[in-house]
Amino acid sequence: MIALLKKEINSFLGSLIGYLVMIVFLLSIGLFMWVVPGTDFNILENGYANIDTLFILAPWMFLFLIPAVTMRSFAEENKTGTIELLLTRPLSDFQIVFAKYLSGVLLVLFSLLPTLLYYVSVYFLASPKGNVDSGAIAGSYAGLLFLCSAFVSIGILASALTNNQIVSFILAVILSYFFYSGFESLSTFSLGGMLPGILSQVGISTHYTSISRGVIDTRDVVYFITLTGFFLLLTRFVIEKRKW
């Protein structure tokens, strides 16, 4: 499984699109946080020693970044026919799925690492120096980690359903958007009873917002683990169907 994990990471980093995706993500966030004037996102203008802009914008950037990272995982294997060779390796179907999932998570985390410079910058710019809520920032990063995990599992499933990378990308964007914001939007309609609350809890946004406050609630952690596991099991089922 380690060999497959390394292969996936090297395949992504060996392509130009891999670096372009990371650069676009970091450049977009950086411009909003430090350069673009006249917005509440600009740290230098709003006068507060925090990097909330990162945690507000990153989920929307992830909607495009993560599908771009995962779109090749199975779609390329399906297109070239190497999926049949992959399935003959001494690995279980779930190990194959998990290796591709883990490589996607690691690549997104690799993209997030440079954002720690934003925290360091705010730490030294604060008055007095170091006057930042490091605990809340750590909690927000944990929220991004869980969000990343959920989006990658969705992207892996989308890639397994097709042999076209563009179709995989679009499908992953749609599914990720629906689970992040769709259920939240549905819960705002005038529906009686407990349904609005249930719909809100099914969506990712409610749980991500909760963790981003800096408080790790067990219910939110269980939600993200369950959601990720659900999509990984669906992907395994799709892969197993090829053997029927």
Q: Which residues of the chain have pLDDT under 70?
A: 38-39, 47, 49, 187, 189-194, 196-197, 242-244
pTM above 0.75, yes or no: yes
Note every long-range contact of 170-175, with CB atoms under 8 Å and residues 24 or more positions apart, other chains counting.
Answer: 170/67, 172/66, 172/67, 172/70, 172/71, 173/63, 173/64, 173/67
Q: Which of 63, 66, 83, 55 shows the shortest CA–CA distance to 18?
A: 66
Amino acid 120: pLDDT: 87
Supply the Cα-derived Rg of the chain in whole angstroms.
Answer: 19
Residues 19-49 pLDDT 10s: 888 888 888 888 888 877 766 777 777 767 6
DSSP string across 72-111: TTTHHHHHHTHHHHHHTSSS-HHHHHHHHHHHHHHHHHHH
Q: Which of 109, 105, 147, 148 shows the shortest CA–CA distance to 8?
A: 105
Cα separation, 221 vs 238, whole angstroms: 26
Handedness of CA 190, 195, 197, 203 (dihedral sign): negative
